[in-house]
Amino acid sequence: MPRKKRPEGTRAPNGASSIYQDKNGKWHGRVTVGVRDDGRSDRRHVESWDRKVVTKKVRELERARDEGNITKPGEKWTVEQWVEHWLHNIATSTTGDGGWDAYFYATKHIRKHVGAHKLPNLLPDHLEAMYRKMQKAGASSATAHQAHRTIRTALNEAVKRGYLAKNPAVVAKAPKVEEKEVEPFTREEVTQLFKTAREGRNACRWIIAIALGLRQGEVLGLRWTDVDFQEGTLTVDVQRPRPKWKHGCDGACGHKHGGHCPQRINTRSETKRPKSRAGRRPIGLPHPVLEELKQHATEQTAEREAAGELWSDAGWLFTNETGKPLNYRTDLARWKQLLSDAGVRDARLHDARHTAATVLLELGIPDRTAMEIMGWSNVALTQRYQHVTGHVLGTVAEKLGDHLWKASEKPSDEPPEKGN
């Protein structure tokens, strides 16, 4: 018996797209786009009094389904809601402390400028307007670029999880960041910094930073057990991460930020392992640095005896006056004070690391060895941290002269050829 032809306007079988009209004359369209989390068919519905409109919407849903651009059904996130969810529930498990802090500060701009948009309604134009507003308000191009990287990463995750079809941050044009050339300290500046540092406490802390190029968290995480005076080595095995504070009083203190709470609680561990194997490394100590460390040990012993029972003996290499580890903010403030007291130009503490890397370049240390000393996992970082100074150019020029001129002036052992 031949199968009857399905009348026009009735529902299609087996989950196929369908367009039909109800008893009131309204047109409906239904398209199967996938499977819901509970295993049931995800069938989307559109409607209109105009059949052409419904037909167009059905074709658009089919096209989006076939191209993989269908978002999950359910809650419609705003940008602010998604960024907050991503920051505190996803990024915390995939990002290091430093990277998370950068995301955290960037999300403040994102919430302020585009947070109210529904996730599917966010356009590249909205993001580009945000970057312009940030810079107009005084933010640097680097800060605006960090906001771009943050929203791009957050929305990439939304796309992966089916909450967003396409990431508008991939299309949006980020502001161009003008890289500021770092100027390493000169030998004269280093000498003056060392001299001034020796007039105060923890002089060796700054000498190690400049001479060995250790990161701030690496220096603050050092313990005496990391120093081998016999072998003349220093082992970098842990770091002290920047603390992240929360209220310890349930907000009763009246301060907005947890870091200002008198009963504040650090939510991060006191120490952590470096994020890469290259970060965990032994470093050979130059004899002058070794002598500075011995002098530092003598000075700390005297402080320990003077403090008596107030001394907190946890074995930290650099401490405050009662043996507790140095505070990040206090450490940075003392660096700025050191620069001022030494009459040296203002610079970041991280510029000391650039200086140490450049000295390795001046000494002609091979890239592989420099990577081991500095704790780099990527050889490309040598280009970022090592700067071609006048001394380097002078050395290259001298070697070039020796090779092209002095070599040609040497008498030849071969007798000249006789003419025919």
Domain for residue 34, yes or no?
Answer: yes
The answer to whether residues 194 and 326 belong to one domain is: yes
Domain for residue 228, yes or no?
Answer: yes
pLDDT in tens, the chain (420 residues): 444 444 444 545 556 888 999 998 999 999 888 777 667 787 888 899 999 999 999 998 888 777 766 666 656 789 999 999 999 889 988 887 778 889 999 999 999 999 999 998 999 999 999 999 999 999 999 999 999 999 999 999 999 888 888 999 999 999 888 767 778 888 899 899 999 999 999 999 999 888 888 889 999 999 999 999 998 888 988 888 787 777 888 777 877 777 778 888 877 777 777 666 667 788 888 888 899 999 999 999 999 999 999 999 899 999 999 999 998 889 999 999 999 999 999 998 888 888 877 777 666 766 677 767 677 666 666 565 555 455 544 554 455 446 445 554 555 555 555 554
The answer to whether residues 358 and 334 belong to one domain is: yes
Phi, psi of 64 (to 5 degrees): -65, -40
The answer to whether residues 96 and 232 belong to one domain is: no
What does 332-343 look like in DSSP terms, one character per residue?
Answer: HHHHHHHHHHHT
Domain for residue 388, yes or no?
Answer: no
The answer to whether residues 51 and 96 belong to one domain is: no
385's CB contacts (< 8 A; 6+ apart) are: 353, 354, 357, 358, 374, 376
Confidence at residue 184, expressed as pLDDT on a 0 to 100 scale: 84
- Alpha-carbon distance of 313 to 319, in angstroms, equals 10
The answer to whether residues 219 and 365 belong to one domain is: yes
The answer to whether residues 38 and 62 belong to one domain is: yes
Domain for residue 250, yes or no?
Answer: no
Domain for residue 263, yes or no?
Answer: no
The answer to whether residues 224 and 100 belong to one domain is: no
What does 33-91 look like in DSSP terms, one character per residue?
Answer: EEE-TTSSEEEEEEEESSHHHHHHHHHHHHHHHHTT-PPPSS---BHHHHHHHHHHHTH
User: What tokens appear for 145 in the block?
Assistant: 């670029």
The answer to whether residues 206 and 115 belong to one domain is: no
Confidence at residue 394, expressed as pLDDT on a 0 to 100 scale: 52
The answer to whether residues 311 and 353 belong to one domain is: yes
The answer to whether residues 196 and 303 belong to one domain is: yes
Looking up residue 164, the CATH number of its domain turns out to be 1.10.150.130
DSSP label at residue 281: E
Domain endpoint, select from 124, 143, 171:
171
Q: Are 120 and 69 in contact (CB under 8 A)?
A: no
Name the pTM for this structure: 0.62
Q: Are 252 and 234 in contact (CB under 8 A)?
A: no
Confidence at residue 212, expressed as pLDDT on a 0 to 100 scale: 86
Domain for residue 323, yes or no?
Answer: yes
Beta bridge partner(s), residue 34: 42
Domain for residue 414, yes or no?
Answer: no
The answer to whether residues 196 and 114 belong to one domain is: no
- Alpha-carbon distance of 344 to 200, in angstroms, equals 16
- Alpha-carbon distance of 220 to 202, in angstroms, equals 11
The answer to whether residues 97 and 152 belong to one domain is: yes
Active site residues: 215, 246, 350, 353, 376, 385
Count the domains in the chain: 3
Distance, CA of 35 to chain centre: 37
Q: Are 275 and 98 in contact (CB under 8 A)?
A: no
Range of the domain at 58: 18-66
User: What tokens appear for 285 in the block?
Assistant: 């100590």
